[in-house]
Amino acid sequence: MTSVIPKGLGEQIRALAGGEVTSRALVEQALGRIAETQSTLNAFRRIRAEAALREAAEADRRLAAGERLPLLGVPLAVKDDTDVAGEPTAFGCPGDFPAKAEDGEAVRRLKAAGAVIVGKTNTPELGQWPFTEGPAFGDTRNPWNPGYTPGGSSGGAAAAVAAGLVPAALGSDGAGSVRIPAAWTHLVGIKPQRGRISTWPDIEAFNGITCNGPLARTVADAALLLHVATGNHEGELHRPEPVDVLSAVGRDPGRLRIALSFKTAFTGTSKRLDPVVRAAIVRLAERLAALGHEVVEAEPRYGLVGFSFLPRATAGLTEWSSRVPDPLLLDVRTRGAVRNGRLLGGAPLRWARSYEGPLRRHVGAIFQRFDVVLSPTTATPPLRIGAMAGLSGWRTDRAMIAACPYAWPWNVLGWPAMNVPAGFADPEHRTLPLGAQFLGPANSEPVLISLAAQLEADQRWYERWPQVSRPGPQ
């Protein structure tokens, strides 16, 4: 057995298959790292220590018998909006939630592939915000600099992967909730085509704008987790055509036409792109051009995409809030958003759904000239812990839109999008990660993944790790 336990998903799979390490050793390491960092990073809401060790022992037995599955014996985490049998699903909310009797379909598929789920990661209340803080669990912190947020709403999942607690995690993305924390923690994060990964027992999540997606340190690891988690329950609404994401990792993308975009969709609020973010995206565009791609500044025509997003998001909050045992315990901002959802859940929601087709044609016109859109994932570097604490609902919304105006339109469209690391806002200290996103048309995950893998081979961002215990400059 090796004395050095590998940290990457692919590395752990190969070490297990080769008999170089046991599942118990991997799971014990993961649980130990979680325990060591829980008081500082606070990545997890629920930790399945006893169950995970039992499952690791069973995985070792199966491995010793010669059985091989894609994730057999590997420790993973899932965001606390996805059901795990025997655990409550609180989605960041306070209260005494009952344990779930069954796994959600995505978790069922991960377990069927042999994964050991070590815990459920923190998320803000109902996944609303680009920070992972709340009265139910406290503040989840960024491994690169604990004075800052890892983003949200998959902030706990991102912190866990970035810190090396687990090699990969499943998050969810309803307005950038995989891509934003991936950007702010130096990870690869994929929002796949709507319906690619199941949201069952929900027939769809948040009226179609939310989907599950992987977070990992490398493109190959993210693609592998996406591949294994892909699939639907027969009761779900969305069933996209199959795509091959695994072979895309090693495939040359060819010479692509890439639109470099800094435009944001209309929101009626002020937004400003931080110069350090713009400079990072421009540098990335220059590297893509050096790799042989045609990169031209061009902008999607977003139209009134926000009017299709808001009713779907707020009505989704209202629906999910009905599962909260004591709604009076929720953040006052959450209660206000739930009230708005009741107002927007009738005719406005029906109109928002009907407008999706025209929006796809309008925004999608850019793909008549380009293969991929490159844009910032966020407008700012990571926010400080507590940056939006104590704000009213309206002021929180304005601050949230100002920091993260780029990701959410693709949730309305339901198309794939992918964050890749884009350097640091503080290159000397490397404690404030930045991200760029590749945006594609329907079912374009293979193109985005091939392009990201080519860029990763050039940039080698996976070689950089945070010093978890060092806060860095404040």
* CA atoms of 261 and 239, how far apart (whole Å): 30
| Residue 173, domain extent | 9-463
The residue among 432, 421, 471, 383 whose CA lies nearest residue 189 is 421
* CA atoms of 26 and 20, how far apart (whole Å): 11
Please give the pLDDT value at position 2: 52
The structure tokens 């344990």 sit at: 99
Contacts 24+ apart (CB under 8 A), 60-64: 60/22, 60/23, 60/24, 62/114, 63/16, 63/17, 63/19, 63/22, 63/23
Burial class for 112, CB neighbours closer than 10 Å (0-12, 13-18, 19+): middle
* CA atoms of 317 and 33, how far apart (whole Å): 33
Residues whose CB is less than 8 angstroms from the CB of residue 359 and which lie 6 or more positions away in sequence, other chains included: 303, 305, 308, 412, 413
362 falls within a domain:
yes
Which residue in 7, 23, 79, 444 is the catalytic one?
A: 79
The residue among 342, 318, 417 whose CA lies nearest residue 373 is 417
* CA atoms of 425 and 228, how far apart (whole Å): 34
Asked whether the beta carbons of 92 and 80 are under 8 A apart, the reply is yes
* CA atoms of 265 and 208, how far apart (whole Å): 19
Please give the pLDDT value at position 122: 99
The structure tokens 């491995």 sit at: 63
* Residue 321 is among the residues annotated as catalytic for this protein: no
1 falls within a domain:
no
Phi, psi of 250, deg, nearest 5: -100, 10
The residue among 194, 205, 209, 229 whose CA lies nearest residue 9 is 229
CA 322 to chain centre: 25
Please give the pLDDT value at position 5: 76
* CA atoms of 49 and 30, how far apart (whole Å): 10
Question: For residue 259, what are the CA distances in angstroms to 157, 179, 287?
Answer: 30, 19, 14
Which residue in 23, 154, 172, 177 is the catalytic one?
A: 177
* Residue 177 is among the residues annotated as catalytic for this protein: yes
315 falls within a domain:
yes
Average pLDDT, consecutive stretches of 10 residues, N- to C-terminus, the chain (474 residues): 74 97 98 98 99 99 98 99 99 98 99 99 99 98 98 99 98 99 99 99 98 99 99 97 98 99 96 98 99 99 97 98 97 98 97 97 99 99 98 98 99 99 96 98 99 99 82 38
Please give the pLDDT value at position 472: 37
297 falls within a domain:
yes
Please give the pLDDT value at position 474: 39
Strand 188-191 with 211-216, pairing: antiparallel
Phi, psi of 216, deg, nearest 5: -155, 170
CATH code for position 295: 3.90.1300.10
Asked whether the beta carbons of 150 and 380 are under 8 A apart, the reply is no
179 falls within a domain:
yes
344 falls within a domain:
yes
Length of the chain, in residues: 474
Has this prediction a pTM greater than 0.95?
Answer: yes
The structure tokens 């609020």 sit at: 269
Which residue in 7, 111, 120, 153 is the catalytic one?
A: 153
* CA atoms of 298 and 374, how far apart (whole Å): 10
Question: For residue 391, what are the CA distances in angstroms to 70, 241, 394?
Answer: 45, 43, 8
Question: For residue 173, what are the CA distances in angstroms to 45, 188, 192, 194?
Answer: 18, 13, 9, 10
Asked whether the beta carbons of 122 and 131 are under 8 A apart, the reply is no
* CA atoms of 63 and 127, how far apart (whole Å): 37
* CA atoms of 125 and 309, how far apart (whole Å): 19
Domain count, the chain: 1
2 falls within a domain:
no
